Structure 1
Amino acid sequence: MARPVPVDLACQSAAFTTDPFGEDFARCLPVLRDAGYRRVVLGPLDPSARGVEALGHRIHDAGLAPIAMAVQSLEANVMSGSPQVRRLGFEQLRRTVEMTARLGGDQLNGVPYGVHGDASSRPAERDVTHAAQLVGDVADEAAALGIMMTFEVVNRYETSVLNTAAQAVRFVELSGSRNLRIHLDTFHMALEETDPVAAVAHALPHLGYLELGQSSRGLLSTGALDLAGFLAAVRDLGYTGRYGVEGFSRPLMQEPVADALRIWGTTFTTGEEFVRDAAALFA
């Protein structure tokens, strides 16, 4: 068994499989636990899906905690200019919070502020304000249940809403919530930030989750990003919150998910290879 990782570390389960109800997912849980991880990040789930409670028990019985993910759709979107569609988006987020509680999770990640993959045009300022206020209200409801709600800042090819830490901080300020937290990811920051460490410093008062991903979306030890140097720098800033690692390899994913994330190649052969490589970064 590996030495415990000296941080509160999560792994995106897509490194093993994109089906959380299958046997490949069940087999990945002891691998993560034995490699020193404390949490496993799930992909988007239907809040009304059967088996959510059983999934939560399976994760907890393995000695891990789940992190759920919030999403929006064209029909239910807090960023919409339509009050009815905004309301449906708000209710969708609230159901996802309730689902997270049923899972026994205390963290909800994702892109709750709009439709992930819609980067065709900039939203109107009034729509950003509406979205921030609604997401902030949901974050407050989540906090009352002991759940930290974060929102991920992703690159320009995945959203036109929030691409930088500065935009994320402003979104928190617009929300009016003291409970909404920012999720930064090195893969996206490498595309959007001129200085990723300075971006973390700017977001630090609101930063709840810091995720490490390589330029290739594969093994963290191979790629264009100096993740060891970045990690040392953000520790020097005083960040002591939760970390995550993320990697994708097409043969391990369901094809529609791989297509949606534009994962075309084989970047590692097994999830165990990825998690042990990533854990070494924190040793």
Structure 2
Amino acid sequence: MNPLGIHAGVWVGGWSPEETRLAVSRTAEAGYDLIELTATDPSGIDTKLVRDLLDEHGLTASASLGLTFDADVNNEDTAVVRRGRAKLGTALELVARIGSTHLVGALYSALGKYSAPATKKARANSVAAIRELAGQAADSGVTLGLEIVNRYESNLLNTTRQALEFLDEVDAPNVLIHLDTYHMNIEEGDFARPVREAADRLGYVHVGESHRGYPGSGTIDFATFFRALVDAGYEGPVTFESFSSAVVDPALSSTLAVWRDLWDDNEDLAHHAHRYITDGLHAARWR
């Protein structure tokens, strides 16, 4: 069975000790194996507390982030790229301190709408930064998952085919593809072909509905997606991601345009999603 995860944004909008305890304990109570932390600002995370709570509840963790335009490796400006590399390094340190093996997200780019296509120089800077990060991550046994996001959140990797070309340029075995059904619904033609194309280079999965609400209440063809994962022999994490203005992370909520309530009962949502994903993967295995 795939480890099932949940994004911490379902539970909390920050990382105070109280929020940290709530997020980890609720994740365990809902039956998940993994909690995904937001590493946008690691300075606010008590890594010792996180690690102690993970051990207490028998959980693992991953961390995700997207870069910002003032610290972006997908840029021609040397100073901006340098700040982006530093931000990636800080996130990698967080992952190591909490004992995680996965750093995922838009590691290659700012998370936001660019005003023009990526330039050849900016892309080369991104490739070089990810290659360097991969070398550092390998020393800690960490896998990097490059999340393919929609055109409004990056100008670099919007499809699986683009990501595969990027991975070929990086040429590091611990850099893999991170698929997200929310973004696939916008950019891909279907939910099976990208999984087949990624094949054994698929390393992390986000399950998110078309409107980021309850899975099964939007337009995502989850049955096809789950079948594709099973057929591909994917055994990595499958992490549920959902956002609502009922839980506000000031930075992340603004970046992802979380302007309205898609749910207000996060416990019901988390239990529903766990059951939905478990049943979907089970049905795909025994179809």
Tell me how far apart the structure 2 counterparts of residues 47 and 65 of structure 1 sit (CA, whole Å): 17
1:36 aligns with one of 26, 31, 38? 31
- Shift of the 52–79 alpha-carbon distance from structure 1 to 2, 3 Å rule, reads same
What is the Cα deviation at residue 22 of structure 1?
A: 4.7
In the alignment, the residues of structure 1 paired with residue 208 and residue 245 of structure 2 have an alpha-carbon distance, to the nearest angstrom, of 16
Structure 1 residue ranges without an equivalent (≥5): 1-5
Q: How far apart, in 2, do the equivalents of 1:152 and 1:57 lie?
A: 28
User: Partner residue of 1:174?
Assistant: 169
- Counterpart contact for 1:16–1:270, Cα < 8 Å: no
RMSD: 1.9
Aligned: 1:102 with 2:100: no
Q: Compared with structure 1, are the counterparts of its residues 22 and 227 closer, same or farther at alpha carbon in structure 2 (3 Å cutoff)? A: farther
Aligned partner of 2:188 among 186, 193, 196: 193
Cα distance 1:46–1:31, how it changes in 2: closer, same or farther (>3 A)? closer
Which residue of structure 2 aligns with residue 67 of structure 1? 62
The residue that corresponds to 1:267 in the other structure is: 262
TM-score by length of 1: 0.91
Structure 1 position 126 matched with structure 2 position 121:
yes
Deviations 1:140-187 (A, max 9, x none): 211220111111111011111110000111111111212111111000
CA-CA distance at 1:244 after TM superposition? 0.9
What are the superposed Cα offsets for residues 198-253 of structure 1, whole Å, 9 maximum, x if unpaired?
01111123110011100120111211112133212321232222211111121122
Tell me the secondary structure at the aligned position of residue 10 of structure 1: strand
Matched to 1:93, the amino acid is L
What is the distance in 2 between the residues matched to 1:194 and 1:177? 28
User: Normalising by structure 2, what TM-score?
Assistant: 0.89
1:221 paired residue number: 216
- One-letter amino acid of the counterpart of residue 97, structure 2: R
The alignment-based identity, stated in percent, is: 28
- Unmatched runs of 5 consecutive residues or more in structure 2: 280-287
Give the conservation status (yes or no) of the 8 Å contact 1:78–1:85: yes
Match of 2:149 in 1: 154
Change (3 A) 1:94 1:260: closer
Aligned to 1:19: 14
> Does 2:51 match 1:56?
yes
Q: What is the CA distance between 1:49 and its match in structure 2?
A: 4.3
Question: Structure 2 counterpart of 1:59, which letter?
Answer: L
CA distance in 2, matches of 1:176, 1:256: 32
Q: In the aligned structure 2, how far is the partner of 1:254 from the partner of 1:124?
A: 31
CA distance in 2, matches of 1:243, 1:223: 19
Say which SS state the counterpart of residue 90 (structure 1) adopts.
helix
1:149/1:179 contact within 8 Å kept: yes
**Residue 240 (structure 2) aligns with:** 245
Q: Secondary structure at the match of 1:113?
A: strand
Amino acid at match of 2:199: L
Residue 48 (structure 1) shift: 4.1
More displaced stretch, 244-253 vs 90-99: 90-99
Q: Show the counterpart of 1:79.
A: 74
Equivalent residue for 1:236?
A: 231
Cα deviations across residues 94-132 of structure 1 (Å, max 9, x unaligned)?
222112111221111121112111322111123212211
Do the aligned residues in 2 keep the contact of 1:252 with 1:270 (CA within 8 Å)?
Answer: no
Tell me the SS of whatever aligns to 1:274: helix
User: Match of 1:85, SS?
Assistant: helix
**Matched letter for residue 159 of structure 1:** S
- The separation in 2 between residues aligned to 1:51 and 1:120, in whole angstroms, is 36
Contact 1:72 1:111 in 2 (8 A): yes
The one-letter code sitting in structure 1 at the alignment partner of 2:48 is E
Please give the alpha-carbon distance, in whole angstroms, between the structure 2 residues aligned to 1:254 and 1:90. Answer: 23
Match of 1:183 in 2: 178
Amino acid across the alignment from 1:88? R
**Which moved further from structure 2: 136-145 or 66-75?**
66-75
